[in-house]
Structure formats: C-alpha cells, structure tokens
Amino acid sequence: MSTPASLPRLNRQALSALHEHVLSPQAAWREPGIGIVHLGIGNFHRAHQALYTEEAMLAEGGDWGICGVTLQGDVAKRDALMEQQGLYSVVERGPDGAKVTVVRALREVLAMPHDSDALFARLADPAVRIVSLTVTEKGYYRDAKTGDVALDDPAVQHDLSHPHAPRTVPGILVAALRARRDAAIKPFTVLSCDNLAHNGAALRQVVCSFARQSDTALADWIAAEVAFPSTMVDRIVPATTDAEHASAAAALGYRDAVPVPCEPFRQWVIEDHFPAGRPAWHAVGAQLVDDVTPYELAKLRMLNGTHSTLAYLSMLGGFATIDEAIAEPAVRNLIHAMMTHEIAPTLDMPASFDVAVYRDALLERYANPALKHRCAQIAMDGSQKIPPRLLGTIAARIAANQPFARLALAVAAWMTFLRGHADDGSRYDISDPLAGRLKTLAASANGEPQR
C-alpha cells in the first residue's frame, strides 16, 4: 500500500485524473488572471474565501485568481504551495466521513519580507481590484482604546521610519495605496475577513491613522476613495494534522503537503460595496447585504464567545478538543444557557434569523466528532479575542441592567488559564502577544513565583 511520502506531489497536470475531486468537473476550467491579493494565506482563507472565489469564477467567470501572502516569513508554506502550483485540498470532515476537494483558485504565493518587491509590483497592478485579509486581531496593530494604529508598537514605528519597506498590514496597505494614487491607478477594495467588530470600519481607521502620521493628504484620499466593506465569516477550520495528509493522499492518489481540514458548514455575509468589482460570490451562497452588523454580532458573541469559553474551561479541566468538552453534560448545559439567557438577548436580528435555531446548530457543530478542533488552538491570543468576544456582550448586559454570571465565568476561566497549568497540574504554553505581562500578573494574583 502506498504511503503519502511515496506518492507523486499534487500538481496541475494531475487535474484531469482528479475530476471527481474538483468543483464542477463538467465545466471547462480556465486558469484565471490574478485579481485578488490575500494577506494571511492560512488555513481559514484556503477553506473559506478561496473556495467561494473558485465557485464564483465557475458560476460567472472573471479573472479573480488569488495571490496569497504569508506575513511571517513562512518560506516553507510558500514553497510547499508553489511546488504544487498553488493547488491544495480541502478535507471537509463531517459525521458521515471526509470529502476531499482540490482547489485551483490560488495562483501565486509570496512570503514577506523575502518577496517584498514582487508583492508591491502585484499590488500596483491595475488588474488587482481586491486586497483581502485574514491576519487575526493582532495583525491590525490597533490601539484598543482609540481604534487608531498602535503608535507605541515597535513594528509600527519601523514602518513609519521605513515607509518603502513595511512589515505590518497597515504599513503595507498604505505603501501600496500611495503607489497607486501617485500612478493615477484606481485603488483596490480592502476586504477584512477577520473576527473583529465592524472589521471594515476598524481597518479603515487603522489605515487612515497610519497614513496621517506622514501624509495627511494621502489619509484624506484613502478615506474618500478606498472602500473597506465589512464582512462576517464562519467556518470551523482546525490546524492540519497527519490525519488530513493521510485522507487527502488516500482520496487523491497524490501527496498534498498542505491540506486543510474543515467542517461542512460555512457562511459569508458581505457588505456589498466594491467600486472596482468583485467575484460573483452572491451566486454561490454568500449573502450580500447593506449592513453586516447583526450577523457579525451574532457570530462574534454566540460562536466566538462560546468557543473561547469552551477553550479556556477545557484547558483547565483537561479536555483536548471541543467535541470532547461539549460531550460533557455540565459543559453543554452551561454553553446552552449562556447562549439562551445571556447572549441571545443582546442581539437585534432580522426577522428571518431564528436565534434558537442558530444556537442549536452551533451546539451540533461543536459536537462534530470528526473535526477534533484543539482547544489549545482556540485559546491562543486571548488578550486580543476576549474584548470583542466576551467583554462587548458583558457591556451590553450591564447596559440593560441584566446579570451575566456565565459570561463572567468565561472571563474568569481565561484569567485562570493564564497561570499556565490545568487543575491537575499539567502545564501548557501561553501563546499571546502579551504573554509575558499576563503571566506575571496571573502569578502575582495567585501568589505564585513567576516561572
């Protein structure tokens, strides 16, 4: 029996033999030109927006091929994807088994800062009409108090001092938009796909405040001419394990170095404001709306808030994955009650949106035994996630003079998690941009020596 290592590498010449694993095999696939640059080419983007984009091109055409960019110098990911000519497989895991799909929309992968010249050449290309992002909350370099760019961050200071060699998302976007303005090229649309409240408006403020530090006229031009539509994205996408490599190889007969696992469910709600055009996402299940806010809050509070709650309680109690945690009746009852009695009353949804149905669907998704979403992965970067996921809901409860004991428990679980060990004494790492400071505070609060 062949092992993944002994199989030939996935490549575009193999596609003719993989018709049962590509979308719409009966439709002729035309390799598209690049029309989208995506910053943060991680698992989520490849299982979500890239898949929607390929389906949109199959539905109504267009040159919306994707140039993906790693921002942390991840040359290994770039090389792995480019060795496969941008191809990779999505391993959709549900209770009935795994479905493997080869995605073709990714046409180029760059790694910053190594490919800086190539990236800025691509961003200056008039054919690029959308720059999208999945860089997590910390990738915005946003001052939590003001919403402006975090001027005290060393990376931001570097970019302000080296405007032609930026490393941060705000620096990259401002440099690229300046170049397009100066060359009289229409600006691209900037599309945030991160779990951040009002993500489009938040990114606009960060970018404009960064630009204003050195060029007020440029900041004013960005504010007036560049579209920053908000979005809400939803799909559970765990980290890749050996199981996905084995599943992809068994299904395809080819070795995929970068498969992506995900759940069957997906959702994308998009503010429909794209002056330079967009793919036909509306034709393949995305919801194009005037206001994303209600959907954004529902997802942020119901899904992300309870996901974080599950993660921190599980790290303390010894559950490794979300499905293990939600299978415990006491934990499931807590999450059900939190959504029903504390989170749902803070939402103001369209009449067509049934919050109880949404709640039950989330509980079913959490219980998916095939997904094995690791709690340690969800627990990362808590200092960035807790404010939008939990503190905003608590503020809404306080404003309504309503109790929030379960939400308070979730925040307490995060604070206790920062001590670095489970209730049974087993230790784990704290992965957070403020890890050093938080661990010191947690140790001080618990009367423990700092390790």
Same domain, 230 and 143: yes
Q: How many other C-beta atoms lie within 10 A of the C-beta of residue 265?
A: 15
Any domain includes 365? yes
Q: Tell which residue, 260, 181, 268, has the closest CA to residue 220.
A: 181
- Which tokens is 110 given? 């760059």
SS3 content of the chain, % helix, strand, coil (to 5): 50, 15, 40
Same domain, 335 and 414: yes
Residues ≥6 apart with Cβ < 8 Å to 253: 2, 7, 17
Same domain, 228 and 310: no
Q: What CATH number should be reported for the domain holding residue 329?
A: 1.10.1040.10
Query: How far apart are alpha carbons 305 and 298 in whole angstroms?
Result: 10
Same domain, 59 and 203: yes
Any domain includes 414? yes
Any domain includes 451? no
Any domain includes 142? yes
Any domain includes 450? no
Show the domain range for 404: 293-445
Same domain, 297 and 379: yes
> Distance between the two ends of the chain, CA-based, in angstroms?
48
Q: How many other C-beta atoms lie within 10 A of the C-beta of residue 342?
A: 23
Q: How many other C-beta atoms lie within 10 A of the C-beta of residue 24?
A: 12
What is the model's pLDDT at position 16?
86
Same domain, 223 and 316: no
Same domain, 311 and 191: no
Query: How far apart are alpha carbons 420 and 439 in whole angstroms?
Result: 8
Same domain, 325 and 256: no
Same domain, 277 and 332: no
What is the model's pLDDT at position 222?
98
Q: Which of 289, 304, 337 corresponds to the end of one domain?
A: 289
Give start and end residues of each alpha helix (H) in 226-381.
242-252, 293-298, 305-317, 322-326, 329-337, 355-366, 375-378
Query: How far apart are alpha carbons 333 and 70 in whole angstroms?
Result: 40
Any domain includes 435? yes
**pLDDT beneath 70, residues of the chain:** 1-4, 25-27, 446-451
Same domain, 21 and 135: yes
Query: Per residue in 84-110, pLDDT tens?
Result: 999 999 999 988 888 999 999 999 999
- Angle, vertex CA 267, rays to CA 231 and CA 69, nearest 5: 60
Any domain includes 274? yes
Query: Per residue in 367-390, pLDDT tens?
Result: 999 988 999 999 999 999 999 999
Same domain, 275 and 306: no
What is the model's pLDDT at position 25?
65
Q: Which of 265, 289, 313 corresponds to the end of one domain?
A: 289
Question: Model's pTM, two decimal places?
Answer: 0.87
Same domain, 73 and 90: yes
Q: Which of 255, 274, 289 corresponds to the end of one domain?
A: 289
Q: What CATH number should be reported for the domain holding residue 272?
A: 3.40.50.720
Query: How far apart are alpha carbons 428 and 317 in whole angstroms?
Result: 12
Query: How far apart are alpha carbons 415 and 403 in whole angstroms?
Result: 20
Residue carrying structure tokens 């200056």: 124
Total domains in the fold of the chain: 2
Query: How far apart are alpha carbons 341 and 405 in whole angstroms?
Result: 10
Any domain includes 438? yes
Sheet of 97-103: strand order equals 97-103, 88-94, 260-262
